[in-house]
Structure 1
Amino acid sequence: MDPSLWTALSALLGAIVGGGISYLLNRQQLANQLRVQQETNKVEFMAETTARHFLEHKSFTDRSFETLRNHLGGFTDDELRRILVRAGAIRVYRADGSEWWRLLSRMEEFIERKQLDEIAREI
């Protein structure tokens, strides 16, 4: 074989091995950064997880702000609202003016339940 071909193949092999090592190291570094960020913001991260837990309950699509505030103490009302938005919730107001929250991902379920309730009332 031609010596220049060996040179090209060894350069290609070196680039592939170096690229693979860089990829693996970069991936590990990103995972470590994510862990550090979660640890740094652990209070907010856990509050968001807890809020999502309450809003994902199978029996309730909506939760009142008062209920969420009672279970997620230690935050001002505006901080709690930011946590709820980060958890994927939207705010709705009832006819009596009370503030309720529901996950945007459960909107279809809410609409279906509302339609079933209307049908049950008609019967």
Structure 2
Amino acid sequence: MSPAWGTAIGALITAAVAFSVGRMTATTARERLHAEMRTEFMVREAINQLLQHKEWTRRSFGIIKYHIRGFTDDELRKLLVSAGAVAFDGRKVVDGERTEYWGLRTRNSHLLGYTAVDESKLRTVNDVAEHPDGDREPQQDISGSSS
């Protein structure tokens, strides 16, 4: 066998190994991206289910955060926006802050010009909230009366 054939065979083997490694890397990257997209898709579906409830057109950020866990506040806000939600502030100030509400743009387009929403006009949900003492009890509605 001449040295030229040896060099050619070596180059072919190197190319085949590089192709195989590249293909495995691309497959792994594609699978990872698919898993990430599946997670994002499932979160968007859960957000839409919360915000499309027939009785509540807006939900407080706290309730959304309670049901959609595993994300920082800012990550969750980005997911809300990507799901078609818009934010509203409540008029009441509690502990120096207004309650943050989120609703689907399609269900709240009539409010887009307002800077704050009236909490008394919201329907409330009888969700279960975790209390600091560990007990679970119905969430109080935003007007302060028990559900």
Q: Indicate the residue corresponding to 2:58 in structure 1.
A: 62
Does the C-alpha gap of structure 1 residues 86 and 95 become closer, same or farther in structure 2, counting only changes over 3 Å? same
How many residues align? The count is 79
The Cα of 1:108 is off from its aligned counterpart by 5.3
Q: Indicate the residue corresponding to 1:102 in structure 2.
A: 103
Given that 1:89 and 1:104 are in contact with CA atoms closer than 8 Å, whether structure 2 keeps it comes out as yes
The Cα of 1:39 is off from its aligned counterpart by 4.1
Code of the residue aligned with 2:105 in structure 1: it is L
Given that 1:61 and 1:110 are in contact with CA atoms closer than 8 Å, whether structure 2 keeps it comes out as no
Identity value in percent: 36
Cα distance in 2 for residues equivalent to 1:104 and 1:58: 15
The Cα of 1:44 is off from its aligned counterpart by 1.3
Q: Which runs of 5+ in 2 are unaligned?
A: 1-31, 93-97, 113-117, 122-147
1:89 to 69, 85, 92: 85
The Cα of 1:40 is off from its aligned counterpart by 3.8
Given that 1:51 and 1:87 are in contact with CA atoms closer than 8 Å, whether structure 2 keeps it comes out as yes
Code of the residue aligned with 2:47 in structure 1: it is A
The Cα of 1:70 is off from its aligned counterpart by 0.3
1:17-66 CA-partner distances (Å, limit 9, x unpaired) = xxxxxxxxxxxxxxxxxxx9654411111111100110000000000000
Query: Greater share of strand residues, 1 or 2?
Result: 2
Cα distance in 1 for residues equivalent to 2:111 and 2:53: 12
TM-score, with length taken from structure 2: 0.48
Cα distance in 1 for residues equivalent to 2:47 and 2:34: 16
Cα distance in 1 for residues equivalent to 2:88 and 2:80: 12
Matches for 1:27-42 after TM superposition, within 5 Å: 39-42=35-38
Query: Greater share of helix residues, 1 or 2?
Result: 1
1:81-107 CA-partner distances (Å, limit 9, x unpaired) = 000000100000001210000100102
Cα distance in 1 for residues equivalent to 2:66 and 2:48: 15
Question: Cα RMSD between the aligned structures?
Answer: 2.6
